[in-house]
Amino acid sequence: MESVIPFDLVVILVSAALLGLIADRLRQPTLVAYLVAGILVGPGILSIADPTDLVDLMAELGLAFLLFLIGLKLDFSEIEHIYKPVVKISVVQMALTALISFLTALILGFNPFIAGVLGLAFMYSSTAVVIKLLKDSGGISKQYGKINTGILLVQDITVVILMVLITSADTDIVSSLVSASLFLLLAAGVTYFASKNLLPRILQEASKDSVTLFITGLAWLFIFVIAAESFGLSIEIGAFIAGLGLGQVSYSTELVEKMTPVTDFFIAMFFVNFGLSLSLGEFLTYWKEALLLAPVLMVTKFVVIRKLVDWQGFGLETSFKSGLTMTQTSEFSLIFIAAAASVGLISGSEVGMVSLVAILTMSLSSYLILFHNQIFERLYPGKSVLKSEDGPENHAVIAGYIQGLESIIERLGEKYGRVVVVDNDPDVVKNLSEARFGDFHHRALREDLGLDKADFVMINFEDESLVKEILDEIGDDTILLAESEEEIEGAETYTSEVLLGEGLRKYIRRSDL
């Protein structure tokens, strides 16, 4: 009897899991681990797994989910106050990086056409690596984090456009460009209208049930995927635009939480499958060139971005850290170069070289990002002046709506000024002056709320493990008030909903809040 689950898929999943754990322990991007896993178990080295139709399908979906999630996380409002300098920096940076990469490739012996393709492939930095590690290191809310987010947004949009051109290279390019332009115009118009008028209402209703919210996100994604295919374009372009539309809606944070697990799975399949497609010969054909290109690219991106950020009037620390955190090659470099190979513009050997450069630069830059504060302090002692931007501080956060909460908000507002209520009921959120829809169990939501800088946190439901988790996130002077039948060290607790209104008001008075 033939197995329902292919042996190749089991090997792929086990190898990806093991190398993912190792990468996490070494504080390396899991994307690198998945790529190495594919090379290791595939025809390139061990030959115990081969690309199959099922894995190919998962990989294709993985690329669509990757672009969808990146679009979903890009909120234009986060960079609207600096979009002009960011666009200037991004355009000049991509042009200079592409030019230097092109010249370096020529010096290394590549012909002008291939050198040009390599230049276009290397001019991006990694959205997945930069955003994740900046969040881990606390830099995402600072000025250089905002600038880098904006640069990555411009780069992502650029590579989507270039992918349209690349995938049109083996067809009637004029008709393909007309079709692509028509789709992009229609999709952009529909997305803008929907994000302003339709999606908020739909997601408000869908958010009443977490499964419905997830299914709604998938439905929106596949509508654009099918639309892109009908115009003769790759499904990834439709996925990216679908994500951008949802990313501008207030429910996007919760939707990201719902979509991330399944997205991570399919993304893993994409990078493992990418590794499976590389033979050892292709991967190592240009290993000497890759060893030379990697440091050249890292130095180039650091110097160019630092100088450009400084050119736009930002300070020493902002320009230095902006450059330091953007030194890697992007996952989009792999996607772009694979698209170029699929239409015969380059060979598998060049794909292998770009893959090796990606592994080297992502691995090295991860430590530069994680320790960028220490590096700056070592080189410029006492010069660090940056603080988090736009993030709340010295505020109050209340998780969960309860009867009589309005009077408590009023009292807390007198002391803290800003009081943010979090609830997973959209009707509650709609009726409060300052509220966020979401599940307080999600760490990403708590980070957005600036919980580590809050002066008062109140949890109106029983969850002892969550309370203990939050105690590790808040400051030593933060007051934490939580509903609990048991006493919890480090937190003030209450129990009876009957006494909730008057009892908490008494507590607030007693604590001089």
pLDDT of residue 136: 73
User: What is the rounded CA–CA span in Å between residue 59 and residue 64?
Assistant: 9
Q: Are residues 340 and 457 in the same domain?
A: no
pLDDT of residue 75: 64
Question: Which region, left, alpha or beta, applies to residue 309 given φ > 0 means left and ψ of -120 to 50 means alpha?
Answer: alpha
As a dihedral over the C-alpha atoms of residue 335, residue 338, residue 344, residue 348, rounded to 10 degrees, the angle is 150
Q: Are residues 178 and 308 in the same domain?
A: yes
Q: Are residues 224 and 368 in the same domain?
A: yes
Percentage, residues of the chain above pLDDT 90: 25
pLDDT of residue 328: 94
Task: Out of 348, 379, 410, pick the residue that ends a domain.
Answer: 379
pLDDT of residue 287: 93
User: What is the rounded CA–CA span in Å between residue 376 and residue 387?
Assistant: 15
372-397 pLDDT tens trace: 889 999 998 887 776 555 556 778 89
pLDDT of residue 260: 83
pLDDT of residue 169: 58
Q: Are residues 59 and 111 in the same domain?
A: yes
Q: Are residues 106 and 186 in the same domain?
A: yes
Residue 428 in any domain: the answer is yes
Residue 391 in any domain: the answer is no
User: What is the rounded CA–CA span in Å between residue 411 and residue 117?
Assistant: 62
How sure is the predictor about 15, in pLDDT bands with cuts at 50, 70 and 90?
A: very high
CATH code of the domain containing 406: 3.40.50.720
288-327 pLDDT tens trace: 999 999 999 999 999 999 999 999 888 889 999 999 999 9
Q: Are residues 293 and 402 in the same domain?
A: no
Structure tokens at 123: 């001019």
Please give the average per-residue pLDDT across 417-428, as a whole number.
Answer: 83
CATH code of the domain containing 361: 1.20.1530.20
The yes-or-no verdict on residue 474 having pLDDT over 60 is yes
The yes-or-no verdict on residue 278 having pLDDT over 90 is no
Q: Are residues 260 and 148 in the same domain?
A: yes
Q: Are residues 418 and 292 in the same domain?
A: no
Q: Using the CB atoms, write b or e for 478-495: b if 16+ within 10 Å.
A: bebbbbbeeeeeebebbe
Residue 231 in any domain: the answer is yes
Residue 386 in any domain: the answer is no
pLDDT of residue 252: 76
The yes-or-no verdict on residue 89 having pLDDT over 60 is yes
Instruction: Write out the residue range of the structural domain in which residue 93 sits.
Output: 7-379
The yes-or-no verdict on residue 508 having pLDDT over 60 is no
Q: What is the mean pLDDT of the chain?
A: 83
Name the least confident of 43-47, 80-84, 275-279, 489-493: 80-84
Please give the average per-residue pLDDT across 71-89, as a whole number.
Answer: 74
Q: Are residues 170 and 211 in the same domain?
A: yes
Residue 388 in any domain: the answer is no
Task: Out of 332, 347, 379, pick the residue that ends a domain.
Answer: 379
- Which residue has better confidence, 77 or 439? 439
SS3 248: coil
Q: Are residues 355 and 496 in the same domain?
A: no
pLDDT of residue 150: 85
107-147 pLDDT tens trace: 999 999 999 999 999 999 998 888 878 877 777 778 888 88
Please give the average per-residue pLDDT across 462-487, as a whole number.
Answer: 84
Q: Are residues 402 and 369 in the same domain?
A: no
Residue type, 319: S
Percentage, residues of the chain above pLDDT 70: 90
How sure is the predictor about 63, in pLDDT bands with cuts at 50, 70 and 90?
A: confident
Residue 2 in any domain: the answer is no
Contact 407, 505 (CB under 8 A): yes
How sure is the predictor about 498, in pLDDT bands with cuts at 50, 70 and 90?
A: very low
Long-range Cβ contacts of 284-289 (<8 Å, 24+ apart)? 284/352, 284/356, 285/349, 285/352, 285/353, 286/349, 286/350, 286/352, 286/353, 286/356, 287/353, 287/356, 289/108, 289/109, 289/353
pLDDT of residue 222: 92
The yes-or-no verdict on residue 510 having pLDDT over 50 is no
How sure is the predictor about 496, in pLDDT bands with cuts at 50, 70 and 90?
A: low
165-190 pLDDT tens trace: 776 655 566 666 677 778 878 888 88
How sure is the predictor about 2, in pLDDT bands with cuts at 50, 70 and 90?
A: low
Residue 303 in any domain: the answer is yes
The yes-or-no verdict on residue 201 having pLDDT over 80 is yes
Count of domains observed in the chain: 2
pLDDT of residue 512: 44
User: What is the rounded CA–CA span in Å between residue 397 and residue 409?
Assistant: 10
The yes-or-no verdict on residue 443 having pLDDT over 80 is no
Would you give the distance in Å from CA 179 to the centre of its chain?
29
Q: Are residues 362 and 432 in the same domain?
A: no
Residue 385 in any domain: the answer is no
Task: Out of 344, 379, 414, pick the residue that ends a domain.
Answer: 379
